[in-house]
Amino acid sequence: MSRAELISQRAAGGRLIGLLLVAAPVFLVVALILWPVALAVFDTLTVEGPSGPRFSLDAYRFFFSDEFSLRNLWMTIQVATICTVLLLLLCLPIALYLRFSASRLTGYIQALALFPLFVPSILLAYALIRTLGPNGSVDILLNAVGLPKLPSPYLTPWGPIIGLVWDNLPLTLLIVLAGLSNVSRASIDAARDAGANRFQVLAYIILPRIRGTLLVAASFVILGLFSAFTLPYLLGPAVPEMMGPFMRRTIIEVDDPIQARTQAVVTFLICAIFALFYVRSVARTRREQST
């Protein structure tokens, strides 16, 4: 056998082995992501007729005419919007500071801001109840300095908002930081030399360059918010509730799988555009890394 034949045979063998090695995880993706989603879309768009399934929008018509479902969806949208705005407002100054300051405090601040990565959300829920709940440590501290109690955010929409901001802070910050690393110090120095003040530098030099990053960060947060379950379930109000707890109740307690899947597909559709931005950015980082 010639050397060329040997090489081509080995390459063919490598191809088969390659396909075999990736078969199991790819099968999992197909069986446990693509198939359930496709089936949910199909089943919610059809009803069983005498001659097999036929197209029908009944499930969605119900969802969008049911006041209860709409209130839950609306609350999720509101909480997602508030969390996104709060997270960006919180992360931008921290990221700017971490990127452009040479102070020794940067190490401490970065460690602190990444800390929530190490705290599982179930433990966070417990800690926040003890802190923000009635007679929690915030009440104790306010009382100790002679201030009146604040209304507790526990079991109001502000409970999950505070929890989700806490939980999403590190990854949002890392996304913003990665974007800021593309803003060169030289361009900022040049603008300062030309007489620009801090806000002008921010508005005309920094923000235009990280617009894409901010969009990706917002997409990441919104995707997370629509799938949040633990924090809204444990910290939020029972009525109206966010989509996560609502879907669980619909499938487990109300025992209505079709409506639960309709709710799921509605969250997919609302998040589709954000998912596109986010996934595109993950894929791009991935390609840059491997080249």
Partner 1 sequence: MSLSGHARASRPGLRLAGALPDWAGIVIAILLSAFILLPLVNVAIWAFTEVWRYPAVIPQKFGFRFWSDVLGRGDVHLAMTTSLSLAAIVTALSAVICLPASYAFARLDFPGRNLFFMSFLTVYAFPKFGLYITIATIFIGLGLIGSFWGVVLIQLVSTLMFMVWIPVSAFQNVDRRQEEAARDAGASPLRVFWSITLPQVLPAVSAAVLLTFVNTFYETEVAWLIGAPEVRTVPLLMIRFINSELVVQYGAVLSLMLWVPSFLLLILARRFLGAQALGRALGA
Scan residues 65-94 and list those touching partner 1 (CB under 8 A).
93-94
Which residues pair with residue 52 across a beta bridge? 49
Please report which helix (H) or strand (E) contains residue 47, including its range: strand 46-49
* Cα 11 to Cα 14: distance, rounded to the nearest angstrom: 5
Contact 180, 99 (CB under 8 A): yes
Report 162-191 residues binding partner 1 (CB under 8 A).
166, 169-172, 174-175, 178, 185-186, 188-189
Q: Is 17 in the site for partner 1 (CB under 8 A)?
A: yes
Segment interacting with partner 1 (CB under 8 A) among 55-63, 153-161, 204-212, 263-271: 263-271
Residue closer to partner 1 by CB (options 157, 174) is 174
Report 228-247 residues binding partner 1 (CB under 8 A).
228-230, 234, 243-244, 247
Q: Is 101 in the site for partner 1 (CB under 8 A)?
A: yes
Which one of 6, 57, 123, 203 is in contact with partner 1 (CB under 8 A)? 123
| DSSP states along 113-139 | HHGGGGS-HHHHHHHHHHHHSTT-HHH
* Tokens matching residue 27: 């099968």
CB of 50 to partner 1, least distance (A): 23
Q: Is 277 in the site for partner 1 (CB under 8 A)?
A: no
Amino acid at 66: D
Which one of 57, 85, 141, 254 is in contact with partner 1 (CB under 8 A)? 141
* Tokens matching residue 37: 């989603």
Report 187-206 residues binding partner 1 (CB under 8 A).
188-189, 192
Contact 199, 173 (CB under 8 A): no
Residue 130: half-sphere exposure toward Cβ, Cα within 13 Å:
6
